[in-house]
Amino acid sequence: MYYMRRCINWIAYAILPFGFALANETPVLEVGKVYRLECDWTDFHTLGRNDNGSALTARRFSRFRVVSAPDEEDYYVVFESLTKYRAKQSKSKSSLKTGKSTSPKPSSTANGLADASGAAQIQWEESTVKYRQAYRLGRKYEGKLNVAEFVSESVYGPISGTLVVPFKYRLDTKTISGDAGLGYYVGWSWALGPRRLSVSPIFSAGISQVSIESTSKAKSTTAVTVAGGLLLRNWSGVNIGFVAGFDKTGEDVSVFPHEGEPWISFMVGWVL
């Protein structure tokens, strides 16, 4: 018992430093990845002689790609999309008293809506950075706030990964079969608002092990599986969704009754 206790203590002393090192590791942005701002950020500077020292602003949910990390203080980034949102609008004194707006019918302007006198009623808060232009971004804002803690990896764009179909509900016989499938999917992903979820229509091709009838005995063979569906995933890369498809073995329907017949299923998958 004494030696066992000493062995456990030795293992604990050996592991603890690695645990503290991981806990204290400063998050960084990875070169080549696309990130989405989770708040307005004013610390972008133009490169070269165009840099006059003033910081530019990118609005929340704008997306940028990290193209390089030249040193321990800065990133070089290029914006792939910019967002804007409507500024808060203050009501006039008359509308505050009556609870109704007394302004004339608005007309369209370049910045939003305007009343008959031309005074803008709705202002858009826009980014001062420009689309597809490179900027220098400090790793820490005023030496304190780490920019990596105020962004999340963007999910917008093409995706691919491994698709696992654990079972199939056969629509022709209205039965559940255990003909599991394994394939590879490709698709396009969109973020669902500010939450860390995305939705993706996908297309998949792969193989399945299916049961067939052969000389009055049941056996299994490999079928080509084609499927499509809708995928929901979170930022940790775990996927769930709905998929529909069909299996082709090349056999007659007397051998494989579900030849080319549709099926539906839930699915699980992981992003590569």
Give, for all 272 residues of the chain, the pLDDT tens digit. 554 555 555 555 544 444 443 345 678 899 988 898 888 999 999 987 666 678 999 998 888 999 999 888 899 999 998 887 766 554 544 444 444 444 444 444 444 444 444 454 566 778 899 999 999 999 998 878 899 999 987 777 788 888 888 889 999 989 888 888 899 999 988 877 655 677 889 999 999 988 887 666 668 888 999 999 998 876 556 678 899 999 998 888 888 888 889 999 987 655 55
Please state the length of the chain.
272
Q: Which pLDDT value is given to residue 75?
A: 94
Nearest to 70 by CA among 26, 21, 143, 135: 135
Contact in structure between 136 and 78 (CB atoms under 8 Å): no
For the chain, the structural domain boundaries read: 29-83+127-153, 90-121, 157-271
Contact in structure between 46 and 54 (CB atoms under 8 Å): no
DSSP letter for each residue of 83-150: -EEEPP-PPPHHHHHHSS--SPPPEEETTEEE-TT--BS--EEE-SS-TT-EEEEESEETTTEEGGGG
Q: 221 pairs with which residues across the strands?
A: 210
Q: How far is CA 268 from the centre of its chain?
A: 16
CATH numeric code, 29-83+127-153: 2.30.30
d(CA 235, CA 36): 12
pTM, rounded to two decimals: 0.55
E-assigned strands of 8-81?
Answer: 34-37, 41-46, 56-58, 63-68, 74-81
Please report which residue ranges of the chain form alpha helices under DSSP H: 2-23, 93-98
Contact in structure between 227 and 187 (CB atoms under 8 Å): no
Contact in structure between 103 and 92 (CB atoms under 8 Å): yes
d(CA 136, CA 107): 39
Contact in structure between 37 and 44 (CB atoms under 8 Å): no
Q: Which pLDDT value is given to residue 25?
A: 66
Q: Which pLDDT value is given to residue 245?
A: 93
Third-level CATH fold of 157-271: Porin (2.40.160)
d(CA 66, CA 152): 13
Contact in structure between 239 and 266 (CB atoms under 8 Å): no
